[in-house]
C-alpha cells in the first residue's frame, strides 16, 4: 500500500494565515499539520508516501524533507499549475504502482486507517471512501449509499433541497491503480465531479467506510482551524496525545497558565498574565496582566501589558499593543502590528 497526500490547494479560505505558510504545514498545536497525517499513515503501516504539491512547494519540502525524521519515506510531485484532485493523482502516476491511500491534505482525523484498508480488501473494492456525518453538509461533498455500503450518488457542495443525506466525503480514499486509466492525462480533473461519478456509471465496486466514534475536522477555515485546537486541547482527538504541554520557558510566579494550554519553548510570561485554553508558539512574549483565552498564537508574537486576546488566531511575529482587545473571529496575518489600545471588537 502506498499513499498520496493532496496538498496543492492555495488555502484561500484560511488567509491571511496561508499567505506565508501553505495550508498543509500550518501548525496545529505547534506541529506542522501534515505530521498528523504522516502519523496516521505510519501507524497503518503505510510509509511510502507522495506529497502532491503546487502552492509554495519549497516551504513544505523544507519542513518535511525526505520524511526520515518522521519514520516515513517522502517523495514529492509539483504540478506546474493545479490539476484538480484527480488530475494531481494522475500527475503522480509514475510513482504509483500499488493500491493507494489518498488523503485530502487538510483533514484532521483519528480515523482507524488499518480498519479501512482491511474493509477495502475484504470487499475486493476498486475504490473505498471514508464518510462522516455532519450537521451542515453544504460546504462538503455528500455521498449517498445503499444498505450494503455501496456508493450510489455524489452531490458536491449541495444546494438546499438537493439531498437529505448528511454523510459527507471525509477526504480519504483507498484506490486500486486501475482507476488511473479513467483519469484523462494533462487535464484538470476532479475526484468529486469526475472520477467518482464515472466509477458509479461503470458499476465498479465502490464502497463507503463509515467508522464508529471518529473525530473529523477540515481545518480549511479560521473557525474550524481554531476549533481543531480546542478539540486537541480537550483530548477529543484520540490517537494524538499531547505529551508535553509545557516547553522550556520563563514564567513569573504570579501568572496563571491553565492545564489545557500549551506553551512552547523560549516564551516569556510576565506577572499577572492569564493563559486559558490557548496555544502559544515558541518565543512568544506576554507582558504584565495580559490575558490570552481560547486563542492560538504562532511563534514570536508579543502581547503588550493588560491586552486581551480572546477567541482569536494571531500569526507569526505579531505585536499586539498594550491594553488592546483582540476579540472573537480576529485572524491576524504574520507581522501584524496593532497600536496600543486597539479594539477589534466592541
Ligand atoms: N495537488 C493538488 N492539486 N492538490 C489539490 C488541488 C490540486 O489541483 N486542488 C485541491 N487540492 C488539495 C487541497 O490542498 C486540499 O488538501 C484537498 O485537495 C481538498 O481541497 P479543498 O479545496 O480543501 O476541498 P474542499 O474542502 O472544498 O472539498 C473537499 O474536501 C471535503 C472534505 O473536507 C472535497 O473532497 C469534498 O467532497 C469533501 O467533503
Ligand atoms: Mg478542504
- Asked if 127 contacts 150 with a C-beta cutoff of 8 angstroms, the reply is no
Residue 289 has pLDDT above 90, yes or no: yes
Q: Give the number of whichever ligand sits closest to the CA of residue 156.
A: 1
**Whole-number pLDDT of residue 9:** 81
**DSSP string spanning 164-215?**
---EEEEEEEEE-GGGGGGSPTTS---IIIIIHHHHHHTT--EEEE--SS--
**Whole-number pLDDT of residue 239:** 87
SS3 56: coil
Q: How many CB atoms lie within 10 A of CB 146?
A: 11
Q: Are residues 101 and 209 in the same domain?
A: yes
Q: Are residues 70 and 214 in the same domain?
A: yes
Task: Label residue 252 by pLDDT band (50, 70, 90).
Answer: confident
Structural domain includes residue 179? yes
Instruction: For ligand 1, atom 37, name the residue with the nearest CA.
Output: 141
Q: What is the pLDDT of residues 172-216, one digit of tens each?
A: 999 999 999 999 999 999 999 999 999 999 999 999 999 999 999
Residue 115 has pLDDT above 90, yes or no: yes
Task: Label residue 69 by pLDDT band (50, 70, 90).
Answer: very high
Q: Are residues 294 and 217 in the same domain?
A: no
Q: Are residues 115 and 27 in the same domain?
A: yes
Q: Are residues 312 and 190 in the same domain?
A: no
Q: How far is CA 97 from CA 87, 110, 141, 180, in A?
A: 17, 27, 28, 10
Average pLDDT over residues 309-313: 98
Beta bridge partners of 132: 168
Structural domain includes residue 229? no
Q: Are residues 37 and 171 in the same domain?
A: yes
- Residue 281 phi/psi, 5° resolution? -75, 175
The answer, yes or no, to whether any atom of ligand 1 lies below 6 A from the CB of 109, is no
Ligand 1 centroid distance, CA of 142 (Å): 14
Structural domain includes residue 241? no
Last residue of a domain, one of 200, 221, 242: 221
Cα separation, 16 vs 236, in Å, equals 27
Q: Are residues 199 and 261 in the same domain?
A: no
Ligand 1 centroid distance, CA of 241 (Å): 26
**Whole-number pLDDT of residue 57:** 92
The answer, yes or no, to whether any atom of ligand 1 lies below 6 A from the CB of 194, is no
Average pLDDT over residues 41-55: 96
Note down the domain range covering 80.
2-221
Average pLDDT over residues 58-74: 95
Q: Which atom of ligand 1 is nearest to the CA of 53?
A: 1
Q: What is the pLDDT of residues 143-163, one digit of tens each?
A: 999 999 999 999 999 999 999
Average pLDDT over residues 105-131: 97
Residue 271 has pLDDT above 90, yes or no: yes
Q: How many CB atoms lie within 10 A of CB 254?
A: 11
Q: Are residues 23 and 84 in the same domain?
A: yes
List the CATH number of the domain containing 278.
2.160.10.10
- Asked if 84 contacts 58 with a C-beta cutoff of 8 angstroms, the reply is no
Instruction: For ligand 1, atom 10, name the residue with the nearest CA.
Output: 9
Structural domain includes residue 244? no
Q: Which of 11, 32, 104 to mutate to test the pocket of ligand 1 (most atoms within 8 A of CB)?
A: 104
Query: Which residue from 290, 296, 222, 307 is spatially nearest to 252, judged by alpha carbons?
Result: 290
**Whole-number pLDDT of residue 241:** 80
The answer, yes or no, to whether any atom of ligand 1 lies below 6 A from the CB of 110, is no
Q: Percentage of the chain surpassing pLDDT 70?
A: 100
Residue 306 has pLDDT above 90, yes or no: yes
Structural domain includes residue 291? yes
Q: How far is CA 184 from CA 56, 83, 200, in A?
A: 25, 11, 17
Average pLDDT over residues 252-279: 95
Task: Label residue 345 by pLDDT band (50, 70, 90).
Answer: confident
Q: Are residues 108 and 167 in the same domain?
A: yes
Task: Label residue 122 by pLDDT band (50, 70, 90).
Answer: very high
Structural domain includes residue 23? yes
Q: Which of 9, 57, 151, 170 to mutate to test the pocket of ligand 1 (most atoms within 8 A of CB)?
A: 9
Q: Are residues 61 and 206 in the same domain?
A: yes
Q: What is the pLDDT of residues 16-35, one digit of tens each?
A: 999 999 999 999 999 999 99
Cα separation, 232 vs 239, in Å, equals 10
Q: Are residues 91 and 176 in the same domain?
A: yes
Structural domain includes residue 172? yes
Total-model pTM = 0.94
Residue 346 has pLDDT above 80, yes or no: no
Q: Are residues 130 and 87 in the same domain?
A: yes
- Looking at beta carbons, which pairs linking 247-253 to residues 24 or more positions away fall under 8 Å? 247/282
List the CATH number of the domain containing 50.
3.90.550.10
Q: What is the pLDDT of residues 215-248, one digit of tens each?
A: 999 999 999 999 999 999 999 999 888 878 998 8
- Euclidean distance between the first and the last CA atom of the chain, given in angstroms as a whole number: 53
Ligand 1 centroid distance, CA of 78 (Å): 16
SS3 51: strand
Beta bridge partners of 172: 103
The answer, yes or no, to whether any atom of ligand 1 lies below 6 A from the CB of 141, is yes
- Asked if 287 contacts 274 with a C-beta cutoff of 8 angstroms, the reply is no
Number of domains in the chain: 2
Cα separation, 221 vs 106, in Å, equals 10
Q: Percentage of the chain surpassing pLDDT 90?
A: 92
Structural domain includes residue 36? yes
Amino acid at each position: 500500500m502506498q499513499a498520496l497526500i493532496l496538498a496543492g490547494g492555495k488555502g484561500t479560505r484560511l488567509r491571511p494565515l496561508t499567505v506565508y505558510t501553505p495550508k498543509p504545514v500550518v501548525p496545529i498545536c505547534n506541529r506542522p499539520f501534515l505530521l498528523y497525517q504522516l502519523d496516521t499513515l505510519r501507524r497503518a503501516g503505510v510509509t511510502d508516501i507522495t506529497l502532491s504539491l503546487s502552492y509554495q512547494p519549497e516551504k513544505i519540502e523544507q519542513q518535511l524533507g525526505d520524511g526520515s525524521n518522521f519514520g516515513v519515506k517522502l517523495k514529492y510531485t509539483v504540478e506546474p499549475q493545479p490539476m484538480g484532485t484527480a488530475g494531481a493523482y494522475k500527475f503522480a502516476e509514475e510513482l504509483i504502482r500499488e493500491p493507494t491511500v489518498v488523503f485530502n491534505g487538510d483533514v484532521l482525523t483519528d480515523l482507524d486507517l488499518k480498519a479501512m484498508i482491511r474493509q477495502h480488501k475484504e470487499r475486493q473494492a476498486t475504490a473505498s471512501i471514508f464518510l462522516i456525518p455532519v450537521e451542515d453538509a453544504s460546504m462538503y461533498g455528500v455521498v449517498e449509499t445503499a444498505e450494503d455500503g455501496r456508493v450510489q450518488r455524489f452531490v458536491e457542495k449541495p444546494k438546499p433541497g438537493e439531498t437529505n443525506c448528511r454523510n459527507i466525503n471525509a477526504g480519504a480514499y483507498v484506490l486500486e491503480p486501475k482507476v488511473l486509466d479513467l483519469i484523462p492525462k494533462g487535464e484538470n480533473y476532479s475526484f468529486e465531479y469526475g472520477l467518482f461519478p464515472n466509477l458509479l456509471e461503470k458499476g465498479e465496486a465502490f464502497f463507503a467506510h463509515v467508522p464508529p466514534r471518529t473525530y473529523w475536522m477540515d481545518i480549511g477555515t479560521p473557525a474550524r482551524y481554531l476549533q481543531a485546537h480546542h478539540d486537541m486541547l480537550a483530548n477529543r482527538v484520540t490517537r494524538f496525545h499531547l505529551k508535553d504541554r509545557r516547553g522550556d520557558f520563563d514564567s513569573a510566579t504570579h501568572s496563571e497558565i491553565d492545564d489545557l494550554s500549551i506553551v512552547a519553548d523560549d516564551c516569556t510570561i510576565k506577572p499577572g498574565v492569564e493563559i486559558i485554553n490557548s496555544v502559544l508558539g515558541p518565543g512568544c512574549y506576554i507582558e504584565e496582566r495580559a490575558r490570552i483565552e481560547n486563542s492560538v498564537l504562532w511563534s514570536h508574537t508579543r502581547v503588550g501589558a493588560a491586552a486581551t486576546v480572546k477567541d482569536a488566531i494571531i500569526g507569526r511575529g505579531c505585536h499586539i499593543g498594550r491594553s488592546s482587545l483582540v476579540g472573537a473571529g480576529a485572524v491576524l496575518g504574520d507581522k501584524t502590528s496593532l497600536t496600543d489600545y486597539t479594539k477589534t471588537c466592541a
